[in-house]
Amino acid sequence: MPDNNDIDFDSLFIDDDNIKDDIIDDDLFSQHEPGSGTHVEKHAVDEKEAEIIFEQPVDIEENLSNDPEIHEEIKKRTSRDFEPDMDAILITAQSPMIIEGMKYMTLKDFSSRRHQVYAEAIKGIDLFIKIIERNPNNYHKLAAIINTDIDCKEVEKTAFNLYKIKCSELPENDLQKLHSFQIFREKLKTAYKKTLISSTMVHLKKYYLMSGGLDQEKLNRLVKDNDPGIKDEINKIGQHVQIAVELLKGNDFEIAKGMKGKDANIFIIKSSQLLYYYYTITHNKDASDYYRRLYNTYKKYFIVK
């Protein structure tokens, strides 16, 4: 069994009274990755609603002459004729959310309360990616909108500058511009992952005593009572432990400003201690052994960069 340790994580991760008692869902990245035919489920303006707006029935007899050429032109028009218009509505609505995500990234604010901000920012970037992937010509047609909308222009400028930092030149063709938005998305995705860790650390506290030790009695009771939420929560904590481990392998790993990776280490130690005990009392030896090794490794070496 893991021993109680005196590592204090209470002050590292800001608690938020608005966070529900369940682990925040992180399915945002479970269905698609950048450049893989991204599907955006919901935006500030629903795309189907936009189609309805632009596809109101036209009374040809009342509004137009009987010119057969005009009639033929109207008959040929479909919702595809209005794709740039719908795209313009979507990106102008979502770009302020991207700007907000950029602001908190600049401030290095990855607290639990910023979780939804980064989620919406990523959905916004997905719109730009989807437009270019689906039809680059539509992106070209949006140039006038982007150049006159302050938020849209700032989003594009930031994406292109990120590309320049990585590739030493500004993007010129459609493929390079697509890549620039994908780089931007990865930045936001990393920020989003950090908020997941912050959020989960807040929830971990309910499994620990005021002294800092693991509340084994509470865990025993939840398992004995076959609590309906404990399994899902344990699975989610395990997923976020892997996110923290991956973050520490990269260059952008700091969650709390100035902690130099100490915060991620404490999260891994506390989470793996909990998971080790849970899988021990539920008789899952393989999982128990894995988290025991993880717990002992990070507690002993305490990786700081």
Query: For each of the chain's 305 residues, which pLDDT tens digit applies?
Result: 555 444 555 545 544 544 444 444 454 444 333 333 333 333 333 444 333 323 333 333 344 345 555 445 444 545 455 455 788 888 899 999 999 999 999 999 999 899 999 999 999 999 999 999 998 998 998 898 899 999 999 999 999 999 999 999 999 999 999 999 999 999 999 999 999 999 998 889 999 998 889 999 999 999 999 998 899 999 999 999 999 999 888 777 888 775 667 888 899 999 999 999 999 999 999 999 999 999 999 888 655 54
Q: Which alpha helices (DSSP H) does the chain contain, by range?
A: 47-54, 60-63, 68-76, 83-106, 115-134, 136-141, 143-148, 150-167, 174-204, 216-224, 230-249, 262-281, 285-301
And the tokens for 265?
């280490």
Q: How far apart are CA 228 and CA 241, in angstroms?
A: 22
Three-state DSSP class for residue 214: strand
The predicted pLDDT at position 80 comes to 53
SS3 readout for 110-159: CCHHHHHHHHHHHHHHHHHHHHHHHCHHHHHHCHHHHHHCHHHHHHHHHH
Q: How far apart are CA 290 and CA 275, in angstroms?
A: 9
Q: Per-domain residue ranges for the chain?
A: 27-192, 194-301
The predicted pLDDT at position 33 comes to 37
174-204 and 115-134 helices, crossing angle to 10°: 160
DSSP-assigned beta bridge partners for residue 147: none
Determine the Cα angle at 11 with ends 5 and 17, to 5°.
Answer: 120
The predicted pLDDT at position 65 comes to 45
Among 11, 10, 3, 26, which Cα is nearest to 196's?
A: 26
Contact status, residue 127 vs residue 94, Cβ threshold 8 Å: yes
Three-state DSSP class for residue 97: helix
Among 291, 257, 263, which Cα is nearest to 201's?
A: 263
